[in-house]
Every structure is written in structure tokens, then in C-alpha cells.
Chains A and B, each alone.
Chain A
């Protein structure tokens, strides 16, 4: 318990100054940070032909975002398929099949890191570094760029003072925003964290796999191959950039990725650090300090509730081994050295933040904790992924503004900009998209047992399939596992969910804010809705809970709730069958 509280306190203590730094480093006003990083950035701008001074309207911003993604995606797809022809492949790993390469590429391009492969066995060092790690660094920065554009839009864009009503607004320069996020935030932090992890014993080498001879050869293994490589930097960025895709298949549950209690703490802090810092950045970045208060209040409420339920759930015994072992916390699928608290905490924050790295198997969580993990991903706006979590939150905020606006008798408006029918249409599309795609995919896969490929029948099977799609749409990337998911069906359906979950959920809000920004601004009067109040925070919480509950209660009822109720019925009653 103390471990949980200390971790959370440390996260807030570190995220606050980082958020202030980010507001300065990513803000539009010149600052001292420019002098430090300016030369490197100007070199990059010259290399890529970026005109740093030129602002972009929302369409230009969206286009730049999509174009840069297409180019990066194509390069990585080729690297993955032809890695056997490329250097840095000491273990002679063959090229990936096109569908697995496509899923892997899209999964990393969308900052999801859902892995239908095992990195140590199926990727060369070159693929890991040039393909995977590059995307892990760049894609969260891209998400952050869209969030920055959104925040500028809320204030009417950078040309708010000069532009007339209806004129398109300057939301910033996409390439500059992305570059600054990489150079000014990610690279320094990754450098520090990877040094710390190397110090704790995470491998950091270009040498091939190590071999060891087990003392006890009775298990049939005469020689054990231990894959190593430049693991530490990748673990650092996978944690910091809400990526989650590890070097090894079992992710941070493997001692080579997460060797010590200190490394576990550092990695856990790194999961939350930037998503929480983004919240602290909002206030100074937009000049609306109370907005940070609102966002932090709502997110922290959800976060603590989720963590509370999850940690409680995992201290309960596992029904599967009831009466077979001594009563105690649920240790199935957990590392003995990490224990239930740290595992439950990790499982909760990794699903809230769209990170998706794991240090325990979510498949083995008790049903309540499993449901919390799914809820975290369904809401996907409690801290959320770097940048995209904030965008998701602001979409919920707009929805709550719409309802509250009606309830106080004024046309819904955010910071004086009124919603029209077109804005509501975009908002409705976002509301509709998630349940429509998730339920359609889950229902189809469950109805076609030849494609399902899961290890459990019954309610737990429903949870496995649903979790996989939720994880894909939320760009989370964690797996409930127990799924034979390296098939064409799973790869292709997940690719679709990944793309929708990333691009629809960033581009539609960008379009929305682009429209809103150009609106005329009504002055704030006593009659306008003040969103930076506890009342509105409560409204937002109610909207998020109600929407999630209404859309997913049936699936929850058939999945984790039915499982939980059946299991508790089993443990309560004496075993008769």
C-alpha cells in the first residue's frame, strides 16, 4: 500500500516541474530553452526542408500529420519485411510476413505497440532500433503536436488577435511541434532513464545472444540462449512515450527488462510522468491555470478510483486456486519479486495511460481488476497517451459542455465559442465510433470460433477478445494474452482498429477545434458556463461514467461481471460437482 502511495506522490512531484518546463519549451514565446536546443533543431529543419516560422491551419496541420505518418510507415514496413537483408542481425532473424509486418508497423506507428510477435526472436537489432525505437520516439511526439494544436485552437489559434471571425486559425507548425517534443523532452529524459536502467542491469549491448549451460539439465535443455541487445534505451522510451512495446515478449515482467525493485519503480514513474506532466503543462501553455485544475481533478478522481479497485481486487484470493492453496492475494501471472500491489498498480496505470507495457499477465487478473483495466482503456482519457489522452479528455469535456450548456439555457459554448450543428456532428461521430467499431469487431470475432483462437471458453473468452480490440482502439497495446493472435484475421482486424483509434480520434477533434477556433467569441458573463468549477468537474465525471457504462455494460455483464459472479458463487458454495 505504501508502495502505491509513494509512487503516486513521486509521480505528481516530478510531473509538476516537467509540465512547467514543457509549457516553456513547447510554447510559442521565445525562451532560454531555444538557445540550448536551437542549433540541433535548425539543423533538422534544414535537413527536412521545414519552414519553422510558418504556421498551419487545421487542414494543413492534419495533412502534415497524415503525410509524415504515411512516409514513416512505408519505411518501417520495408525494414521489417526485409530485415534479413539489412545489417545488425547477428542472430540471423528472417524477414516478417507482410501481415505481421503490417500489424507491427501500424501498431508502432499509432503509438500502440500491440505486439503479435516476440521481439527477441523475430526482430533484428536494426529493426528494433531503426524501426521500432524510432517510431517509439517520434509517434508520441506527433500525438503531443496534435494536442498542442488543439490547445492553441481553444484559444482561437496563434492569429486570434488579428484574424476576423470565420477566418482559419494558425494552430502552430506540426513539424516544429514534433521536433521540439522529441529534442527538448524525449531525448533528454530517455537518455537519463536508459542510463539508470543500464545501471540497474538492463542489457545495453550490440553483441549477439548469450548462452548459458543450466546446472540442472533434467528439464531437457542442455544450453539456454539468452537474447540480449540494446535493451535499456528501448525500455526507457517504451515507458516514457506511452508506447509499451518491450524488447522481450513478456515485457517488463522479464528480469532482463525490469531487474530490480528500483527499476520497477523507475519504469512505473516513467509510464505516468509525461501524461501527468501534460496536464500541468496545459495551464501555463494556454494561460488558463484553472483548466489544469479541472483536468487534474477529474483525471485524478478516476485514476485513484481505478487504482483502488484494482489493488483491492488483487489482494483478494484467486478463485481458481481456492481451497487448493493457503488463502492470500492473487499471485497467478505475477512476478514473485514484484508482488500484488506493484503489479495491480502497474496494470491500472498502464491501461489508463495508453502505455500498455506490463509487469504481470492481465489475463490472470481477478475479474474486477480486469474490468478496471478495460475501463481505463475505454475511457482512454485518464492521463491517456502522450498528447492523445489530453485530446480524448477534451472531447469528453466538449460533450459535457454540450449537455451542461443546454441545462443552463445557453447555446453550448467553450471559452465563448459556440457549438453549431456541424460541431455537434463531429462530436457525435466520435461518441458513436468507439462502441460501433469495438462491438462490431468483438461480436464478429466471437461469432466465428475459427478466428477467435482464444484459450478460454465462457465469459473469460469474451473478456480476452474484447480486451484485445479495446487495447487496439485505445492505442494501448497491452494484451489480455491467451489469444492466438498472430493470425491474418487478428492482424488485419486489429490494424483497422489501430488506425481508427489513432487517426479518427486525433483528426476529428483537430477538425472540430479548427472550426471552433474560427468562431466569434462571446464575452464571459455571469450567465455563461464556467467550466473551471467543481460543479462542472462532477458533470464531466458523470458524463464519462454514464457514457462508458451505457455503451459497455452488456459486454461487461457477459464478460468480467458474469465471470466474477460465477467465480464468487463457486467459492461461496461448497464444491458439489
Chain B
């Protein structure tokens, strides 16, 4: 399934209902509280402007000929602030709606707490971190935790929407369980991971609802720049009457406030919080729980993706499909040797070699007095020592080659590996005795869909992908499969972490690394990576170390996260450009209007031929206010992002939001002016 379409489909189904609208409308009014408004410098200036114009309208008294104009300006300014508040509120309301549906899954549950020999039934809200609960078949798991004993098949559809049950087992990389999911078979002991209210989901809900939302670094940087622009425009507007006074022109204060509000970047200033919240919403909708907004944002910058592939992409079920003997070895010899060497390899791969050998006619009796060497990820080989000093080993080519096994063997096998690698296979070398190496061809259970998505992933991230694979050639092959130009691999668990740490020394540059993993052995790497996306099925240690959890346990979910991160930044950048580009038209509407009476020559600047000076000011203000709600859908949805080169993307956004931002207000202001002059007959 393609994540892009998945996200898109879910987004279309999420509609704003009338209840959310009402909530948001009320919240927009509540947010007028100056203490709250002061958080956004741009909108705070508009709020102050509203107060000033309202006061001027009132103090002018009923006989003031400008009363109507002053009241109109105050109202439009108030509407501008309300629209901005509404944008934020609607984003929050949608997030809350989403969170509520997730939270519903974990309504009050009962738990059977185990303390020593005492077992008591309590409410799930009384559970504390490190409590141990017993969950039997048919029961719901009361809270997030880790299986410490037992194995069970679990229905996680309440959280992931996926109806097929999954297997979770203590002591493996898939020991994590989520509150609200149902145990279908067996009985497990679960250690609770967090106090109530502190689970990942609770954190995410707080982030989405905006209560715990801190401005991300990027948002802060943009706020600083927008504040500087606002101050600069304030200086312009304050200086204007003094400069105009030199030529004897008087400027109305209300008009000046109107000019200020038109110039300061209210469009982006008003939509900025909504864009951030909507980004978190999109992450949540993609079933990704992010621990911070920063993590999502940084995703757009990722240079390298580290995929702990074994067990993450392939779900560990790499299957042997064929034996390829080297010259001088018969197929049956290889089959038998591989079979014997794999008996002590409990990995799916080892099991599949045994199964394949049996299927292809292995009939020998069990060996007499064998000494088995179990497969380990450290040695990357397994084997058996038989009487008569017969040693059989099977393992990664370089592991075999590096060992005390026939030096000629590795050469021969390396040369022989090539055809296999083209076929998309992974080879294990079975070294029989000291002279009979032969590659076994093992097909991988990586579906085409996975490869395609991973390729899209790389194109989106525009980053090299690195495999956490433990086989050199396999990795090189696998990464070319994913459109990689910079395949890297690490050979033993834990190498991922060393790989991340090694970058500064090796290249003088530190890469921004995204790591996808699930196991406890991935935890150090996940913690060091800039983005650590942990599979929901993963262990508690991994979840603690990472900064995002994917409820679907889909490693290519990183694609969705990268996309959301990029969308966040693009939306902000494009709307900032749009906001500033809009000012050009507003100048041409207001400057001639302000000085129309005193400096008639400036009417040549009135490119739009607006009906009257007051209408010109009002039209510009109304346009400025209306553009905020008009762009709310864009802010919530995020600007469409298609993988393409940076230059093409820049050019496109520059044309649409820069050039478009210059042209659109000319049209919009003129249209509003026509409507105004028709409706009030001025």
C-alpha cells in the first residue's frame, strides 16, 4: 500500500463537522485575550490597532464625518484578528477530534495487577509505571507496555485499523503492546511503560491540542523575521506623517493604522500556528505519534536513512530459494553441507535453508555426536563440527573469508557470487571442510511494493539510504534497488550507532540521520539519530530512544513523515512570500488614497483606479482580512509536495506564491472595490 495515497485518502475523509466549527468560533473569541495574543507579535499589532481605531471612532463623537469609515476599519481589523484565531482554533479542533477517536480506544479499562503473588483487579487509571499486569485471551491490554513473559497474538485494529492479528513475544524485538488492543490467544505479563497521562499518545494529544505545543526552531526563526518586518513597517508608518508634514500633507491616524495592518505580514502571522498544528495532525492521521513538533520538521532535512532492515523491512523472513554450487561441487554436496550447517541457525533464513534442503531431497540421518555452533549476529555464521575433524560453516561471505577457512575459498566464492547478486539474491556461503565453498541463493521476502516505496522514500528525502543489513553484497544490491547512490551498511547490531557517531570524523560533515528500527539493539542508534522512527511493535527501550512511533509498524512510514516535514516548511515559506508580495498592491491602493487630496499628482500611482480614497483603504483591508480564512484550507492541508529538484520546487513556489502574490491582490482589491462602490453607492 502506498503511504501517499493512504494519507491522502484519510485526509479526504476527515471533514470538519459543524460542532468543530462552533467550538473553533468560540475559541477564536476566547483567544482575543491579550495575554494569549501577545504570543504572536504580528497579530498582537493588529489587536492593538483595533483598540486604537475603535477608540478614535468613539472619541470622534457622532458628528465626526469619518465615523462610518473609522467604525468600518475597526470592525475589519477585529475580523482580521478573529480570522487568525479561528484558523488556529479550527486546526486545534480537528486535532482534538482525531485525538478523541484515538483516546476512545483507551477508555477506562480494568487491569489485573500482579504484585508478587497478589493479583488484584484495578482501574487502568490507577496503573503506574513499572506495574505488571496479567492479560488473558479476550481481554484488552490496559495501557502501553512491554511483554515480559509469554507470547500472544493481538488484535491492534483499534489503534492501527489493521484487522490481521499480530504476534507479540517477550524478549524479542516485538515485545511492545499498546493500550486498548485486544489479546486474542494465550496469556501474557505486561510491564506498564508509563504513568497515566504520560504515554506517547497523551503527549501527542497535548501537542495536537496546542497545550504543550512549543514553537519549533524553524517556527521561532520565522517569527523573529516576521517581527523584524513588522517593526520595520511600524517605523515606516510612524515616519510617514512627519515626512508628509514637510510638504503640508496631513495623514489620518485611522488610515495609518489601516496601512500598517495591510503591510505587516498578517497572512502568514495569522496562519503560522495553524500550519504547525495541522502538521502534527497530518502526522497523527498517518498513524505516527511524534514526541515533538521539531522531530517532524527536521524530517524534511534528512540526509541519510538508516533502515534496520532485517526484521524491519523484511520482517525477518528471508527465504532460501535455491542452491548455487561453485565449480567442482555438486548440488547435493552443497545442499547437505548447507543443511547441516544451518541446523543450529534458528533465524528464519536458517530454517528456510533446512526446509529447502529437505524439500530438495535431503535424506541423511542426523549426524552422530555433532558439536553445533549456533548462529550469532556477532560471528554471522553458524555451523557444525563433526567427528573426523569435519567442520562445516555457513555464513556471510566476508565472515567466512575472514576466518581460518580456506583462503582460496573466499576468492572462489566471491567470483562466483556475481550472478547471484544480479538475481536479487542474498548468498550465504557454505564452507565445507576447507575447500568447498559455495554460495547458496536465498531469495528475500521483500515485496516489489516495498522496494518501490523505498525508492520513492529516497526520492522524497533526496537522501542516501543506508541499510542496517549484515551482508555486504546484499546491502549494495538492496540499496541500488532503492535508487541509492551512497549505499552503506553496517555489519553487526550496534554498528548503526557507531556509523552515526563515525560520520563527523570520516567526512568532516555530520549527516542528518533518520533511523528506522524496533529492537533493543537499535536503541542506541535510534537515540543518536536525528529522527528515530520506532515501530509500534518494537521494544520499550527502542520506543524510549526514538522520537516518533509508527502505530502501523511500517518502516516506510518515514516517507509520510518526511513529506509532512517538508510540507510544513514549504507552507510557511510560500505563505511568507505570498504575504510580503501582497504588500506591493496594497501600497498602490493606499498611498495614492492617503495623499489624493493633498498631492494630486500621486493619483498616477492609483493603478487600480479605485472608486474613492476611503473605498481604496477599506478594499485593501478587507482583502487583507479575507485572505486569511481563504487560505485556511491550504494551511491545514499543507502545500502539495511532489518530489522534484530543489531548483524546480523553488521556481514553482516562487512563481505561484511570489508572482501570484503580487498579482492576486490587484485583482482582489479591485473586485472588492467594485462591490463596495456598488453596495454603498460611493
CA distance A284 to B235 in the complex (A): 41
A162 and chain B: residue at smallest CB distance: B508
Please, which residues of chain B bring their CB within 8 A of the CB of A442?
239, 243
B650–A446 CB distance below 8 A = no
Residues of B in contact, count (CB < 8 Å):
76
* Nearest-Cβ distance from residue A511 to partner chain B, whole angstroms: 15
CA distance A410 to B568 in the complex (A): 9
- Interface stretch of the complex, out of B124-132, B281-289, B442-450, B640-648: B640-648
Query: Known contacts being A407-B574, A428-B225, is A522 close to B511, with CB within 8 Å?
Result: yes
CA distance A558 to B224 in the complex (A): 30
Please, which residues of chain A bring their CB within 8 A of the CB of B599?
558, 562, 566
Is the contact region of chain B dominated by helix, strand, or loop, or is it mixed? helix
Please, which residues of chain B bring their CB within 8 A of the CB of A452?
246
B667 lies within 8 A of chain A by Cβ: no
Contact digits for B583-604, partner A, Cβ 8 Å, 1 yes 0 no = 1100100010001000101101
Contact digits for A391-434, partner B, Cβ 8 Å, 1 yes 0 no = 00000000000111111111100001011110111011101100
A558–B244 CB distance below 8 A = yes
CA distance A476 to B132 in the complex (A): 76
- Interface stretch of the complex, out of A2-10, A372-380, A548-556: A548-556
Please, which residues of chain A bring their CB within 8 A of the CB of B245?
446-447
Query: Known contacts being A409-B567, A432-B232, A525-B463, is A535 close to B650, with CB within 8 Å?
Result: yes
* Nearest-Cβ distance from residue B63 to partner chain A, whole angstroms: 30
B181 lies within 8 A of chain A by Cβ: no
- Interface stretch of the complex, out of B111-119, B215-223, B383-391: B215-223
Please, which residues of chain B bring their CB within 8 A of the CB of A129?
none
A549–B584 CB distance below 8 A = yes
Q: Which of A448-462 contact B (CB under 8 A)?
A: 449, 452, 457-459, 461-462
B510–A411 CB distance below 8 A = no
**Which single member of B238, B247, B511, B653 contacts A408 (CB below 8 Å)?**
B653
B9 lies within 8 A of chain A by Cβ: no
B577 lies within 8 A of chain A by Cβ: yes
* Nearest-Cβ distance from residue A281 to partner chain B, whole angstroms: 25
CA distance A562 to B604 in the complex (A): 9
* Nearest-Cβ distance from residue B521 to partner chain A, whole angstroms: 26
**Which single member of A411, A425, A525 contacts B224 (CB below 8 Å)?**
A425
**Which single member of B225, B235, B581, B658 contacts A435 (CB below 8 Å)?**
B235
A320 lies within 8 A of chain B by Cβ: no
Please, which residues of chain B bring their CB within 8 A of the CB of A165?
504, 510
B240–A554 CB distance below 8 A = yes
B187 lies within 8 A of chain A by Cβ: no
CA distance A117 to B298 in the complex (A): 57
In the complex, how many residue pairs between chain A and chain B have their CB atoms under 8 Å apart? 222
Q: Which of B191-248 contact A (CB under 8 A)?
A: 217-218, 220-222, 224-225, 227-229, 231-233, 235-236, 238-240, 242-247
CA distance A442 to B647 in the complex (A): 41
Query: Known contacts being A420-B221, A525-B303, A529-B650, is A407 close to B246, with CB within 8 Å?
Result: no
**Most A CB within 10 A of own CB, among B231, B232, B645:** B232
Please, which residues of chain B bring their CB within 8 A of the CB of A431?
225, 228-229, 232
Can you list 7 A-B pairs, Cβ within 8 angstroms, ordered by A?
Answer: A165-B504, A407-B657, A409-B300, A429-B228, A447-B246, A557-B602, A558-B247
Interface residues of A (CB under 8 A from B): 160-161, 164-165, 402-411, 416, 418-421, 423-425, 427-429, 431-432, 435-436, 439-440, 442-444, 446-447, 449, 452, 457-459, 461-462, 520-523, 525-530, 533, 535-536, 538-539, 542, 546, 549-551, 553-555, 557-558, 561-562, 565-566, 569
Interchain residue pairs A-B with the least CB separation, the first 10: A406-B573, A527-B462, A409-B566, A428-B228, A443-B242, A565-B601, A443-B239, A439-B239, A407-B573, A424-B221
Q: With contacts A409-B565, A550-B580 known, what are 13 further pairs, Cβ within 8 A? A: A161-B508, A164-B504, A405-B573, A407-B577, A409-B300, A410-B301, A410-B566, A429-B228, A439-B236, A462-B247, A550-B584, A550-B587, A553-B587
